[in-house]
Structure 1
Amino acid sequence: MHGGSYKTFPEARAKRQELLGDDLKRWNEEERRLFHHMKIMKQRAAQNFKNATKANGAETRWEKFVAAGPPPPPVADQHIFVRLRGADAARRVAKLEKLAIDNLFLPFSEEIYHGERVGLIGPNGTGKTHLLKVLSGENQPTTGQITFGPRTSVGVFTQVNNRPDFLGRECVDIVLDRISEEEKAMKTLARYGLRNNARQKFETLSGGQKARLEILRLEIEGHNVLLLDEPTDNLDIESSEALEKALDGFEGTVVAVSHDRTFLAQFDRYIMITDDGEVYALPDYEIAMAGLSEPDKLAGLRLAKPLTRD
């Protein structure tokens, strides 16, 4: 409770909001640091079993930190933010009908619309990557089908460390493969925060800059649906943030598998696959994180919609 006068309340409230925001920011930064450290240790353990104990310890520290939960967020002002997607917002890009993969998830139906950011979440081994590969056409479902809307073009984002066809080439030249006018190419690079790197050789770019260039390329190649599988896994924190900014510039639909909670916070809604093969639609980040923390209580969560039940 504020003990001062009404006149000093806005200032006191703003200060408290700032402190709460700082606490939450520090928590998110520490969670992401622990998450990336755990991933690095697991990669090392895969190469040398002597690192297995350290990897398990890193995973335990991350899990305990997440289980303890973040500090309370600032109380949001009643400002409504809407991601503007124009006239195409109502256009369905994919209709999933009775889709199932044996031993992974039960038949479910769902629709994905233009401009949405959809996170595929759930425990390891539940079929999230398999579902992404079904969406890309790489794999086939056991039952069911996917119907894509007209003008839908699916692109798959991969973390590019080496592109022989890009080596020795400047960013602007790579973009000019698809955009014939240099002025337009420069404007496109600017939209992805790469204007100052236009004359830089591809191999000298940072991981985050390469990620942004890859998303730019997918967009100018005509893809309006991007599929991403653990896109921040091998990126440092700075590169992960650069990837998030690049996705903000992408005007189409994004569907991503991720365990990175900071990355997932940017998404509009979520589809969660559980260990027993059930599939749920979760409308916001708060409910999605609650579902991940206590999956056994998922069915009772507010607004959690089961997709595997008629």
Structure 2
Amino acid sequence: GALVEYPGNYSRFRVLKEARLAELTKNYELQQKEVQRLKVMIRRFRQWGHEGDNESFFKKAKELERRLAKLTLVKPPAPPKNRLQGLANGGKSGKEVFIVRDLHQQYADQFLFKDSSFAIYRGEHLAIIGDNGTGKSTLLKLLLGEEIPSGGTIKRGSSLQIGYLPQQLQFADPESRLLAYVQTLTGNEEAARRQLAKSGFYQSDVAKRIKDLSGGEKIRLALLKLFLEKINVLILDEPTNHLDSYAREEIEEMLQDYQGTLLAVSHDRYFLQRHFQEALVIEQQQITRQSLSPLIG
């Protein structure tokens, strides 16, 4: 029921929030130690008063009781809302996930990129960055096989189980109710309700139509579907857009433990700094692998 203000951007918010929670935890633990100390002393003074029939011990016990009653108790930090479950890692893919040679992509007379070669290996986490319109989402579609390159080759490795979160989400039946949709994924209603609750959808939400969900809710629903699949390659296109801070933090924690291959398009500096050390950079119609730190400061 309280509003906490954190001045600054999202990165600053995370630092300030962590410091605030650490301080709250420390103050709570210190106060609990003092409360326990006072309760022990009260019991001792009462015991000594009974054993020695000494009224002064009872008076000291009452003084400590008044002192204890006047304490404004510090509340412990609220536990995080763990709405999103962890990604289920699939079996190992082949060592080579994508081998790209002399890649060209053009529309009419305009090249997005040309003569570009790179490789992505099992377990690597790579960001994909570049200015708007340089072809970041197009590159994802090429890797996924949703588009055919104008030239060059893309070799996909063996045993790939790919999970993809596109920037523009589309569902086959937007008129479908949440519960009915998730039930097709889980096989029964009880499991569907349980999975919906884990993703932050509760009793009042399950009858909503997919088309009536907010942008953040649609992303959470798409993530729910991904989390139910055992994948070893995860491809994300602007994954933190439209998400509230709790969902952003949960996705960040989930990705920290993800052992598979990860590719993500993002402009979110905090997200990039936390999860990636290298990037596929699209600039001047070329795709090159570069260290991420100099690019985002």
Q: What TM-score, normalized to structure 2?
A: 0.55
Residue 97 of structure 1, CA deviation: 3.3
Letter of the 1:263 counterpart: F
Where does residue 79 of structure 1 map in the other structure? none
Pick the structure with greater CA Rg.
Answer: 2
Where does residue 164 of structure 2 map in the other structure? 155
Indicate conservation of the 8 Å contact 2:93/2:159, yes or no: no
Where does residue 10 of structure 2 map in the other structure? 28
Indicate conservation of the 8 Å contact 2:126/2:280, yes or no: no
* Counterpart pick for 1:212 among 220, 244, 257: 220
Aligned length: 213
Rounded to whole Å, the distance in 2 between the matches of 1:127 and 1:168 is 33
Where does residue 146 of structure 1 map in the other structure? 155
What is the DSSP-based 3-state SS (H/G/I as helix, E as strand, rest coil) of the residue aligned with 1:26?
coil
Residue 89 of structure 1, CA deviation: 6.2
Indicate conservation of the 8 Å contact 1:152/1:224, yes or no: yes
Correspondence 1:156-235 to 2 at 5 A: 156-160=165-169, 163=171, 165-167=173-175, 169=177, 171-195=178-202, 199-202=206-209, 203-220=211-228, 225-233=233-241, 235=242
Where does residue 27 of structure 2 map in the other structure? none
Indicate conservation of the 8 Å contact 1:136/1:154, yes or no: no
What is the DSSP-based 3-state SS (H/G/I as helix, E as strand, rest coil) of the residue aligned with 1:133?
helix
Residue 132 of structure 1, CA deviation: 0.9
Where does residue 245 of structure 1 map in the other structure? 250
Rounded to whole Å, the distance in 1 between the matches of 2:225 and 2:129 is 26
Letter of the 2:279 counterpart: I
Describe the shift of the 1:118–1:193 C-alpha distance in structure 2 as closer, same or farther (beyond 3 A): farther
RMSD: 4.2
Where does residue 271 of structure 1 map in the other structure? 279
Which sections of structure 2, spanning at least 5 residues, go unmatched? Answer: 20-85, 106-110
Rounded to whole Å, the distance in 2 between the matches of 1:84 and 1:164 is 23
Q: Which string of whole-angstrom CA distances, capped at 9 and with x for unpartnered residues, describes residues 191-246 of structure 1?
A: 4333566624135543212211012224446665443333445x2x62x7525635
Residue 172 of structure 1, CA deviation: 2.6
What is the DSSP-based 3-state SS (H/G/I as helix, E as strand, rest coil) of the residue aligned with 2:139?
helix
Describe the shift of the 1:244–1:112 C-alpha distance in structure 2 as closer, same or farther (beyond 3 A): farther
Describe the shift of the 1:189–1:139 C-alpha distance in structure 2 as closer, same or farther (beyond 3 A): same
Where does residue 294 of structure 2 map in the other structure? 290
Give the % identical residues. Answer: 27
Indicate conservation of the 8 Å contact 2:281/2:287, yes or no: yes
Letter of the 1:230 counterpart: E
Which structure shows the higher helix fraction? 1
| Higher RCO by CA contacts (8 Å cutoff, separation 6 or greater) | 2
Rounded to whole Å, the distance in 2 between the matches of 1:197 and 1:119 is 37
Q: Which string of whole-angstrom CA distances, capped at 9 and with x for unpartnered residues, describes residues 268-306 of structure 1?
A: 343232524250243xxxxx242246xxxxxxxxxxxxx
Residue 176 of structure 1, CA deviation: 0.6
Letter of the 1:139 counterpart: E
Q: Which string of whole-angstrom CA distances, capped at 9 and with x for unpartnered residues, describes residues 231-262 of structure 1?
A: 445x2x62x75256357557665422121223
Q: What TM-score, normalized to structure 1?
A: 0.53
Rounded to whole Å, the distance in 2 between the matches of 1:220 and 1:176 is 12
Letter of the 2:195 counterpart: T
